[in-house]
Amino acid sequence: MLPYWLSRDVEDKWERLKEWVRLLGIRDWINEHPAAVMSIAAVSGMLFLIVLVAQLIPDKAPEPQVFEKEWFYDLNTGALFETQAGLTPPIDAPSGPRPDGRPAGVRAYVLSYADEPNESERFIAFLETSPIGESNVRERTQPTSVSEIAQWGRGKLIRRLDDKTWVPGDSRQGQAIFAEAFAPDTHGRTPSYFRPE
């Protein structure tokens, strides 16, 4: 049971609403045009059903983007070149083999802090190759945590552009190179990988 003051307030508001509807003539219009009212109700019901069904249908998963090219770095000339995606470094470079006969092409990770970078806004963060045939490899340190970076780096050798020694990607040194490459700049932006066109 409602308190007297609340029930009295509700009654007053209901009377005011009825008077407002009467003054506007809404009730008379509804009584004179029942077909229009039914049409409005039917259209509203259909719109409600369409919105409800649209909300219940699952979204289509976006198509995965397939990249056909990757950056590689020529250890002989220090120049970037593009190749088809999916090759395992080292590969043959445009300048030919290294002086010791090994292929001179290693994968390059080109990053940028800009969304649409020009050539001056891009930089080579690090290089990647595979352990086969590399003699200047620092020994693997004791494994640390099995993070995503460590899992990505397993079986890969990486180094900075100016380094002489390759380190395992899942080692502490490899993870430090990776963390340094993706560190935010002074504006707090993190770099993203820039793919060749």
Average pLDDT per block of 10 residues along the chain, 197 residues long: 80 85 72 85 92 82 76 93 89 91 92 83 90 52 47 82 89 88 88 85
Residues contacting residue 175 through CB under 8 Å, at least 6 positions apart: 144, 147, 149, 150, 153, 169
Distance CA 153, CA 178 (A): 9
Same domain, 103 and 44: no
112 shares its domain with 154? yes
Indicate if 52 and 131 belong to the same structural domain: no
Q: Would 13 be classed as within a structural domain?
A: yes
pLDDT at 134: 52
What pLDDT is attached to residue 75?
93
132 with 109, same domain: the answer is yes
pLDDT number for residue 128? 92
Single-letter residue type at 119: E
- Residue 147: its pLDDT value, please? 54
Containing structural domain, residue 166: 69-193
My answer on whether 107 and 157 are in the same domain is yes
Same domain, 95 and 152: yes
What confidence score (pLDDT) does residue 48 get? 92
Quick one: 20 and 99 in the same domain?
no
Instruction: Choose the final residue of a domain: 56, 78, 96.
Output: 56
- The pTM assigned to this predicted structure is 0.60
Q: Do both 46 and 82 map to the same domain?
A: no
Please check whether residues 115 and 31 belong to one and the same domain.
no
Is 62 within a domain?
A: no
- Looking at the 3D structure of the chain, how many domains does it have? 2
Residues 114 and 51 in one domain: no
Residue 22 is predicted with a pLDDT of: 73
Q: Which residue has the tokens 């940028």?
A: 112
